[in-house]
């Protein structure tokens, strides 16, 4: 598991393992997930390849929201 930059205003970006990606793709197709640009500042330091799936965790005071994105060259 890899994480992107750490800053109070940037949500946590985590690279999914192959098994986590496989589990997610049982529910959603890769094409249905929103994209994140490979050169997005939040994940740039991770040096990711296209089609890598990222889990984004946004924490609030009383709950946490989870989003998924697919790395894209676009």
Domain 12-72 grouped into CATH 3.50.50.60: no
What's the pLDDT at 52?
95
pLDDT value at residue 11 = 86
Work out the angle at residue 60's Cα, subtended by the Cα atoms of residues 12 and 25, and round it to the nearest 5 degrees: 50
pLDDT at 37: 95
CB under 8 A, 24+ apart: contacts of 51-56:
52/15, 52/16, 53/15, 53/16, 53/20, 53/21, 53/24, 54/13, 54/14, 54/15, 54/16, 55/13, 55/14, 55/15, 55/16, 55/20, 56/11, 56/12, 56/13, 56/14
**pLDDT reported for residue 5:** 64
* 10-residue stretch averages of pLDDT, the chain, 74 residues long: 64 92 94 94 90 92 93 90
Predicted pLDDT at 72: 95
Domain boundaries, the chain: 12-72
């Amino acid at each position: 598991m890899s994480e992107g930059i750490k800053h109070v205003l940037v949500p946590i970006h985590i690279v999914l393992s192959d098994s986590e990606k496989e589990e997610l793709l049982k529910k959603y197709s890769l094409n249905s997930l929103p994209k994140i640009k490979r050169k997005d500042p939040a994940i740039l330091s991770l040096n990711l390849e296209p089609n890598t799936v990222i889990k984004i965790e946004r924490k609030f005071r009383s709950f946490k929201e989870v989003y998924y994105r697919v790395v894209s060259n676009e």
